[in-house]
Amino acid sequence: MKLQTLDVLIVGAGAAGMMCAIEAGKRGRRVRVIDHARAPGEKIRISGGGRCNFTNTGIHPAAYLGENSRFALSALKRFTQHDFIKMVERHRIAYHEKTLGQLFCDDSAKDIIKMLTDEMARAGVTLSLNLGVKSLSHDGSLYTVDLDDGSRVQATSVVIATGAKSIPKMGATGWAYDVAKQFGLRVTDTRPGLVPLTFEPTLLESLKPLAGVSLDAVVRHKVPKDADPKRPAKPTEFREGMLFTHRGLSGPSILQISSYWREGEAITVDMAPDKDVAALLLEAKNENGKQMVHTALGHIVPRRLAEVLCERAGLKGKLAEQGDKKLRLLAESANAWSVKPVGSEGYRTAEVTVGGVDTMQLDQQTMEAKTVAGLFFIGEAVDITGWLGGYNFQWAWSSGWACGQHC
């Protein structure tokens, strides 16, 4: 059997694994990265609509979820968004800010992948693709890793950078969790995050005409009183675009709230932010009572939405024919629509997995398992999840960088 001796074996050539490899290689460690995919950084390639939203200028602690989300701070502070931006600028990659501090490549996400593979090559890192792990064991000082091609690697450090379960079609696996469990580490509950939410058939039927309608919305989620005491009780809200789909709701505000939402819970949607719909309808009734209700509401929210809201409220005819109470209820359905999604589109379309390897078991400076010397977990495999908008890549860069200083 072919045997290779290394300092560091990194499993997963994604954002976190490649950043870690660069840093460990720069320290003179003998590093090899393996990945079962055909190419490195496949999620980078498809991210941000092909332009990769590689970080956010406003990285802040509240943008991260996890049972102990403050775990992320150490790495985020030591390798910041500004450090990554400098790296991008050093490689002369043109970029721009789209909105809310989100930085995207001007040309292609492939520029980021090339930057990382170039840096890995410069740091003397070996990259092997189409290669997975058969088994992994530890004898107290060395890790022995049997690979799919029949060869064996022995290394003092093994870094698990295999991401999580989102988009299984792209080779995403829960393998990091299996490794964690093999070595007696806890994995928190996992679920799809940054994912569209779905409705039950009857509700879907009544909202059918709205498929394709997009609008500015404030989406809120309040943790119910009887929820798990570990969950932050603070209401969470996002103001961004929202889209009605054939299955439910999508768009940035919904993807954001989906990471906080759990099955059986309601969300509240304000589809006319900054507008007091009740006051506007009552004013319209006073000024021009002959106006049809849906027409008046159609001046405040998109016309198709106005029609559906009137239909659902059973309001037909002129404004003057409606009691104020009914108009107030109609307004509430626009300003504070409380709705219970039945589920989400799942890992098939989720951008991230919420949950992962328990951060209480990892050292926040190094990402090493506290009870298993030489075993490291980085990136999405760990129970740290960022908001939409470049926060997840920044966690991958920062945790990979931190690990690369020690592994």
Site of interaction with ligand FDA (CB under 6 A): 11-17, 35-37, 42-43, 46-48, 52-53, 132-133, 161-163, 166-167, 171, 173, 175, 351-352, 379-380, 390-393, 396
Q: Which is nearer to ligand FDA, 361 or 394 (CB)?
A: 394
The burial of 100, by beta-carbon neighbours within 10 Å (0-12 exposed, 13-18 middle, 19 or more buried), is given as middle
What does DSSP say about strands 152-160 and 375-377: parallel, antiparallel, or unpaired? Answer: parallel
Q: Which residue is nearest to ligand FDA (CB)?
A: 14
Q: Which is nearer to ligand FDA, 160 or 281 (CB)?
A: 160
Q: Which is nearer to ligand FDA, 18 or 301 (CB)?
A: 18
E strands within 303-359?
A: 337-339, 343-344, 352-354
Q: Which is nearer to ligand FDA, 132 or 241 (CB)?
A: 132
The burial of 110, by beta-carbon neighbours within 10 Å (0-12 exposed, 13-18 middle, 19 or more buried), is given as middle
End-to-end CA distance of the chain: 26
CB of 111 to ligand FDA, least distance (A): 14
CB of 204 to ligand FDA, least distance (A): 24
Contacts with 331 (C-beta within 8 Å, 6 or more apart), sequence order: 276, 277, 278, 280, 281
Q: Which is nearer to ligand FDA, 5 or 135 (CB)?
A: 135
Residue pair 195/350 in contact (Cβ under 8 Å)? The answer is: yes
Measure CA 368 to chain center. Answer: 23
CB of 186 to ligand FDA, least distance (A): 19
CB of 303 to ligand FDA, least distance (A): 32
Q: Which is nearer to ligand FDA, 298 or 379 (CB)?
A: 379
CB of 28 to ligand FDA, least distance (A): 23
Write down the residue that tokens 């003179």 correspond to.
28
CB of 380 to ligand FDA, least distance (A): 4
